Chains A and B, each alone.
Chain A
Amino acid sequence: MQYQVLKKSSFNDFIASLARIEKVVAPVARGYNTFSFQEVKDGQDVAVKYIPTILPPKKYFFPQREKLIEFNKSAGTLEALLEYEKMVIFGVHTCDLAGIQCLNMVFSDKPKDINYLVRKNKIIIIGLECNEYCDQYASCKVVDNHLPNGGYDLFFTELTDSFIVHVNTIYGDELIDKTRLFNPAEQIHLDQLEAVRQKKREIFKDEVKVNHNDLAKLFDKSFDSKVWDDLDARCIACGNCTNVCPSCYCFDMLDNLNLDLNTGDRTRMWDGCQNEPFAKVAGGENFRKTRGARQRHRYFRKFKYPVERYSRYFCTGCGRCTRTCMAKISLKETINALVDSKEEKK
């Protein structure tokens, strides 16, 4: 649509006036090199320069616990419900925008998940560009998420003394109007934006020994790789990697009965394929018994199966799984090991 400019000196006012319109959540510093999306009231609360938060903004779209059904046994009633909250998320990096796009695909795949689809449209997304790598764990270039690919209402890119803002939807445009702090971008701003992007094209290189298109082909031939045996020996099956992943959407269903033993709810909660009982069936058979098989499943759910079903990688390149792994299993190292082991076979 158009570009607007917000002076850095007006940033605090922008967040404050946004917070008067709607609940605003944004990355907030939580100790050394640790950030999380939290409600903010003022721009000073916001960590504009941050590495991927502990949990991705997925938590607002697909909450860790979500009531789907409420029942009353004696009254014989059972109703489906939607829990939602209108909000503006400020500061979503391109990796996490990609994660939300992945979830959109999954939950709009038929049969549609109405809870997710209604809730997502109550949330306004303001993206924020990474002008350089956040840290050594990110691999956003190889999955093509280092540059914005849509999925936002507004998108902020930091320039010298201002932010240039891409207005992508009328909902974004409304916030520009209501906050009254923006000016239309001039050519000099557009030139600066182009310079940022140009520099990014130089800085961001494929982080692994395989390029974007060959990544899928690598996984076509990696199911029986010895690399999974190595992960089998190292993984401790804590499930951290799936918990922090912006595109993991596995869940479990749990019935809760209140203390009156009459009313209660059916709740879905995050689950992960790394947990031992995840693929177990009633007879005791476990179809992914080993940690290696479960790790392989996780990687294939990022680089192969979704490519076949949704024509895109479900790895967003955020690096969270590597950052959080207690056994120091690295996504980039795993991919490189797969490349190496494939070459050895030749």
Chain B
Amino acid sequence: MKTAKLTDSEYLVKAGKIIRARQMTKIEKLFEISLPGGESLDHEPGQFVMVSIPGVGEAPLSISSSPTKRGSFEIVVRNVGKVTNALHKFDTGDTVGIRGPFGKGFPVQILEGNDLLFVAGGLGIVPLRSLINFVIDNRRDFGKVNILLGCKTPQDMLFGEEVDSWSKRLDVNFDITVDRCEDPDYNGNIGLITKLIPGVTLDPERTFAAVIGPPIMYKFVIIELLKKNIPERQILVSLERHMKCGIGKCGHCQIQNYYCCKDGPVFTYDQIKDKKEAL
């Protein structure tokens, strides 16, 4: 057996320097990462990267920051497995391996000029934030913007200050709900995110909805969006799968004839509505 060095392998990683790390909740940690020489990641909102630690492994993680934020990007890591567990021990100054960006993100060129309805449940805020901030940073290029957020309890809301700033903007319609709250002084919405949708005033023909949340959320949110007459091809979802390669080979992320890592993770509802195993 002979070995040769490869300089054009898809599996080579770039050294990502952690320039900021912040524990957001007990199980979620934010990392801001910069690439060597200040190279831009050059991603689309909704794309993902493969993050690795030598000797531990690689994991696919959503990019949470907008491409309008230049010079570095952000990921949020929930501590659920071997790689994410190891990542939680990492801090500012540490280096991780980065491959990507991968996949098809949100079609921002198509979204331009249209009204937008963002629906994020739980950890869905992490990838959807890349699009929300992109739209906010280019606010005049889009029509009406509605942001609907849902999480378990008020304490679980990620990006609290940023979410607060969205809620205060005059050019954004904003609403938020929690599944439950024990604080007697809380006077916000309690209930599922689906309850917020009927209250939104929108022009279905020119509205694109972008939905990200746990698998169970999609089914119910999409029913509400269809009730609002939003066309199926204008409902965008981002699907979670455990990609191992990111380049449409390993098979782990396959949804019937689609590779989620290459053909997605962002799909129109139209594309996946007949695909069992998708949602």
Contacts and interface: CB of A to CB of B under 8 A. Distances in A.
B3 A81 contact: yes
Interface string B160-195: 000000000000000000000000000000000000
B245 interface: yes
Kindly name the residue among A253, A283, A288 whose own CB sees the greatest number of chain B CB atoms within 10 A. A253
Contacts of B56: 255
A71 B55 contact: yes
Interface residues of B, number: 47
B2 A83 contact: yes
Contact of A266 (B11, B15, B248, B249): B11
A78 B97 contact: yes
A82 B52 CA distance: 20
Contacts of B215: 283, 285
A254 interface: yes
A115 B247 contact: no
A21 interface: no
A329 interface: no
A264 B215 CA distance: 36
A19 interface: no
A175 to B, nearest CB: 21
Nearest to B53: A255
Interface in B221-279: 240-242, 244-245, 247-252, 254-257, 276-278
Provide the main secondary structure of the chain B interface: loop
Given A84-B1, A253-B244, A257-B55, A69 B11 contact: yes
A281 B123 CA distance: 14
A249 B9 contact: no
A195 interface: no
Given A81-B6, A253-B244, A288-B277, A106 B249 contact: yes
Contacts of B57: 253-255, 266
Nearest to A106: B249
Given A80-B6, A81-B6, A283-B80, A252 B11 contact: no
B3 A252 contact: no
A305 B10 CA distance: 24
A219 to B, nearest CB: 11
Contacts of B78: 282
B277 A85 contact: no
Closest 7 CB pairs of A and B: A250-B251, A80-B9, A257-B55, A71-B54, A80-B6, A305-B257, A255-B57
B11 A251 contact: no
Contacts of A249: 249, 251
Interface string B6-43: 11111111010000000000000000000000000000
Given A80-B5, A82-B4, A287 B249 contact: no
B74 interface: no
A107 B250 CA distance: 10
Contacts of A238: none
B257 A304 contact: yes
Contacts of B71: none
A250 to B, nearest CB: 3
A11 interface: no
A97 to B, nearest CB: 21
Contact of B1 (A80, A85, A223): A85
Given A78-B97, A287-B241, A113 B58 contact: no
B276 A223 contact: yes
B81 interface: yes
A85 B247 CA distance: 25
